[in-house]
Each structure stands twice: as structure tokens, then as C-alpha cells.
Chain A
Amino acid sequence: MLKYIIKRLLWMIPIMLGVIIIVFSLMYITPGDTATILLGDSATPQSVAALNKKLGLDQPYVVQLFNYIKGIVLHVSLGTSYRTKQPVLNEILARFPNTLKLAALAIVLATIIGIVTGIISAVKQYKAADRIATGVALFGVSMPPFWLGLLLILVFSVQLNWLPSAGVATWKNWILPTITLGTAVAGIIMRMTRSSMLDVIRQDYIRTARAKGQREFVVIMKHEFRNALIPIVTIIGVQFGTLMAGAVLCENIFSISGIGKFLVDSINNKDYPCVMGTVLFVAALCTIINLIVDILYTFIDPRIKSVYKIRKRGADNG
């Protein structure tokens, strides 16, 4: 098991290296001369050249890339923000707690709603409850999150004046962003739960459980749901990327100072080290989440655990 985790962690290195190269290259080909942007109207050819030299922007692509990677590996540094002159990583970490809180609230809400409605829907297949739930879930998936956010503001902030529409001052501020972000993910989880429950319901071991005289509720929770959980956990892991993308939107709509708002602000300010750093940070986060999900599997599905055991046994013998 430990061997597997280490192997997966090592595998992250080439992936992240690839991500760095892609993102760096995109920023490299971005039009516009950075020094001119930074200096603004006061730019003279001399000062531009001097600044380019100071930032290392006069060097060839490969050297710049190498320096960037060296900075990450040796100094755990994602560069310096053009705008605030602060280390990019500090800027990100300062804003990350808000993003994390939003993402965590949304995923908890989405998982609870998605799984409960998914189970009900599968058990009541083709009944009214199922048709309503699948219809609503598809709305959740199809609804542009920014539109939902704006509608919620319209109703609960503008019309009813119940909830604030911006900032993070009180717990009330988190309600609308959480609903906005959670809705789409809840729809996805619900659809996955339903289809994977329907898969399991048809299995012979469910009939075995009923033949034991087990109560229907226990059959559903103990026998069906535990087996259906495997694909559901996958989808929650895979959807983490969607969640982060949604967080970018939510933070912008509800003026929450998180890394999503930071990313959009940085793009608008042409603060490329920050753009690069944020994208890398999110990509690393997604990769780690997926690793955690893969490890979680082994606790849900005993078949996977024993595959490692057999491999280990084989390795020990060989």
C-alpha cells in the first residue's frame, strides 16, 4: 500500500513538470511587453531594457523556463507578482482559505443532496419522485452557475434583502455562494449515484440479501449503496476540477477574495506570474485530490486492496 502511494507521488513529478511547461509556454507567447506594461506611460527604451534584464525577460525561452522550474524546486517559489511585488505563493496562500472554505461547503452540500436524491431516484425508478429528481438534477447540471448566482442575488439580496450578496463578513455571506457552487456538482453526483445504484440493484447479491429476510432499507444502505459508492467517489474526485472552476466564478460574482478572484484579477492586470502560479497551484491540488480518491478506493472496495497485497506478495517472492 505504502509502495503504491509513493509510486503515485513520484508519478506526480512528470505530470506537474508537463503542466509547468504548458502553462509557462502559454504565458510566454502572450502578446504585450511586460516591462512596457509595468512601467506604463513613463517607459523609455532604456528603462524597458533595464527592467527586462532585471526580470530575466531578455533571456531565451529555455533559460527562462529552466529558471522558473529551478525557483519552484529550490526555493518553493512561484515568482514575484508584477503588481504587488510580493511572492506569488504568499498571495495565493493568503487567499486560499476562502476558496477552500467555499469548495468544502459546496462539496458537502452537493454530496449530501446528490447522494440522497440519487438513492431515492434509483429506488423509485420511473415513479414520480424519480422523474422529478432527474429533471431537477439536469437543471442543476445545465444551469449556468453565474446565472444561478445572479438570480439568487436578485431574489434574496435585492428583493427580499435577507442575505448579503458580497464579501465574507458573516456566515450569512456564505449561503448564496455555497448554493450556487453546490448546485451543479449536486446534479452531477445525483446522476452518477442514480445510475450506479441502478447498476447494483440488478445484481444477484441484492436478491441474496432480500432472501435473508433483510429489511428493504438495510438492503439499500448496506448492500446497494456500499457497492454503488465506488463510482460515486470517483466522480466526486473527478469533479474537483469543475468545483475549482466554479469557485473562480462564484468568487467573482460574490466578491470573495479567493484564488479564483485573484486569477481573474491577475489576468485583467496582466500579472502573468500570478496567473501561472494560480493555475499551477490548482492543477497540483487537483492531482493530489485524485490521488487521495484512489487511496480511498481501497477502503471501499476490498478487491482493490487485495490486488496490491497479491502484487506485494509476488514482489516478495520474486
Chain B
Amino acid sequence: MNEKLLEVKDLVIHYFTDDEEACAVNGISFDLKEQEVVGFVGETGAGKTTTALGIMGLVPAPPGKVLNGEIIFEGKDIVKLSEAELRKIRGDKITMIFQDPMTSLNPVLTVGEQIAEVILLHNKISRKEAIERAKEMLEMVGIPGERHEEYPHQFSGGMKQRVVIAIALACSPALLIADEPTTALDVTIQAQVLALMKRLKTDLKTSMIMITHDLGVVAEICDKVAIIYAGEIVEFGTLAEIFEDHRHPYTEGLFNSIPDLDVDVARLPVIKGLMPAPTNLPDGCKFYPRCPYATERCKNENPDRVTITDTHIVRCHLFRSAESIKET
């Protein structure tokens, strides 16, 4: 029943400045099936947002440039599409929720106009009908429809994010990319927005890419998880595989740094060191300088993808096909 909706193959995106080249995305590959939610987990600067912008065809150029790879969406390669063809997809079939709701809305337009704008762009209906639809969308995300004539500054942060979600869902997209939709919000508001997204996911059957660095959010909403480090997917699997049976040392480090209420420890184990700057990546495995299991081979040779199960892929020299050295 589940068709492949999106297929990203070996995507490479770099940013070029006057004297530096920032390697933001270095060969990311993954599939997304219909009605599936994939979580992108990683530190700030790991290349999650750049990958998302690549899928939207919105990598700012210059300085950004897609150097390699394919992004097959509904049989078409987004990388090769013209700007006009991309515009038809953007906002209609693929939409995006950005990180900071406080700055994502245009301050001089009413929220109704901003929702109606995207509806008018992709549907052949009158302005009046578009405003009606905008009001319905507001109701759907839990804002009274009559508030459509108000301006963004009259809404709170959580309400603004609801408006942003309404814009993203206005044309019933096939794929919704949510870039840290809850990070900028208060904890209680976070829970509300997350609950809303969960409800919309089941109601509208939209596929989703959920970018976050919060494993709690992932556990709540995602079917599959991609752990991203320095522009590469270091581990990819189902929710259960990543949470119960993660293999990559980085993933292990991530889970170890979550406090466990049942075990009282004086100090949480942390991953030593910092993620390397994208302008100065190490040869070999990108995680090697911080990896507790690093060997000479990791220093010189970047590991290939290793298939553990049909759905579980890891990028590390410690593993060979279905066997794990750690376990033996």
C-alpha cells in the first residue's frame, strides 16, 4: 500500500563564501513512503535544514550550491526542475514549517491574507473563497476564524506557529517538512503544537519530515528516524530500531546523554568534543575525532552504508552486514 513518495540519493550541498567552502550536506540518501513520518535528528549545523531546503528547491544560491544527487519526488527530480515547475510544487505538494514562528510571518499582512495567498496560488478560486478557506484552516488549527483580519503581532508565539502550520497545510500537501517547529516555543505550548501536528498527521494523512534535536518529539510522532552528523546520515531505521537497537557510536552517545529518571547518576555522560566545522571536516569518518571506538581505519577511510536489516542502515566501520563486532 505504501508507495515511495520521496527518494533522496547521494545529495551533496555546499556553501561557497569568499575564501571558504562549507560542506553542509555530504551525500545524504533516504526514502520516504506515503503517510510516513521521518525524524531528522542531529546537532545544530549538522545539515538538517539545508537538506530540507534542498528538497524545497530553496537552497539560497549564492552562496549555496547543489553539487550532486537526485531528489525524486513523485517521479520527478527536483534538482533538475525549472524555477517555474518548482513553484508549482512548493506550497502545494511540498510545504515547510520554519523554526521561528515569531519571524516567519509577514508583519504587514493579516494572517488571513497570508493563508489565502498560498491557496490562491495553487487553486483556481476567487479571493473571497480563498479567505473563506483561510478561515476554515484557522479553525482547523484551533484559532477562531474571525481572527483572520488580525496581524501577526496580535498573536502569541504558539498561535503564530499554528498560523504557520495552517499556511503549510492549506493546500493539503503530500509532504510536509517541519523544521524544529517547537524549538522556539514554551514547553507547554510545545506540547499543544505537537499534539496538533499529530492529530493533523492522522487526519490528513500527510507524509512528514520532522527536523528536531529533541528525541522526545521523535518518539512521539515519527515512524522512522535518521541520525544526522556532519552532513551525513550516520544511522537510519524505524523508531524501534533506533530507540531499542541503535548501533552507531554517535547515536549511542545521544541516547546516553538523556537523563533516565529511574537511574540516579551524578553526571550525565556527554559526547566529548564538538562537531567539526563544516568548513574543515576530517578525512575518513566524520565522527572519528569524538568516537570512543575509533581505530586507525576510521581516521583514513570514510565508512560505507552497512545494512543491518531491511530498514536499518548504519554508517560505521564497526559493523559488517548483519553482524556486529560489539556483540561478538
Contact = CB atoms under 8 A, between A and B. Distances in A.
A210 B90 contact: yes
Contacts of B103: 203-205
A96 to B, nearest CB: 36
Contacts of B121: 212-214
Contacts of B110: 302
B170 to A, nearest CB: 9
Given A205-B103, A300-B108, A211 B58 contact: yes
B56 A211 contact: yes
Interface string B40-76: 0000000000000000101000000000000000000
B95 interface: yes
Contact of A205 (B87, B89, B91, B105): B105
B106 A223 contact: yes
Contacts of A313: none
Contacts of B154: 306
B164 interface: yes
Nearest to B117: A212
Contacts of B87: 213-215
B55 to A, nearest CB: 11
B118 interface: yes
A213 B104 contact: no
Contact of A212 (B107, B108, B151, B167): B167
B118 A213 contact: yes
**5 closest A-B pairs by CB:** A213-B91, A213-B90, A212-B91, A204-B103, A212-B118
Interface in A207-229: 207-216, 222-223, 226-227
A8 interface: no
Interface residues of A, number: 22
A83 interface: no
A213 B122 contact: yes
Contacts, number: 78
A101 interface: no
Contacts of B117: 209, 212, 214
Given A212-B90, A214-B91, A214-B117, A302 B107 contact: yes
7 contacts: A204-B103, A205-B103, A208-B98, A208-B106, A212-B118, A213-B122, A214-B118
A303 B107 contact: yes
Nearest to B102: A204
A208 B89 contact: no
Contacts of B86: 213
A302 B98 contact: no
A207 to B, nearest CB: 6
Contacts of B108: 226-227, 300-302
Interface string A259-301: 0000000000000000000000000000000000000000011
Interface of B: 56, 58, 83, 86-92, 95-96, 98, 100, 103-110, 114, 117-118, 121-122, 151, 153-154, 164, 167
Interface string A35-57: 00000000000000000000000
A102 B104 CA distance: 43
B85 to A, nearest CB: 10
Interface in A303-318: 303, 306
B122 A204 contact: no
Contacts of A211: 56, 58, 90-91, 95-96, 98
Contacts of A227: 106-108
B106 A213 contact: no
A210 to B, nearest CB: 6
**Which of B92, B96, B100, B108 has the most chain A CB atoms closer than 10 A to its own CB?**
B108
Contacts of A207: 58, 98, 104
Nearest to A126: B62
A82 B87 CA distance: 71
B107 A205 contact: yes
Nearest to B113: A222
B106 A303 contact: no
B54 to A, nearest CB: 13
Interface in A195-210: 203-205, 207-210
B53 to A, nearest CB: 9
Nearest to A214: B121
Contacts of A214: 87, 91, 117-118, 121
B107 A208 contact: no
B80 to A, nearest CB: 18
Given A226-B106, A227-B106, 8 more contacts: A205-B105, A208-B104, A211-B91, A211-B95, A212-B117, A215-B87, A223-B109, A303-B151
B106 A209 contact: yes
Contact of B104 (A204, A215, A216, A300): A204
**Which of A207, A208, A210 has the most chain B CB atoms closer than 10 A to its own CB?**
A208
A36 to B, nearest CB: 62
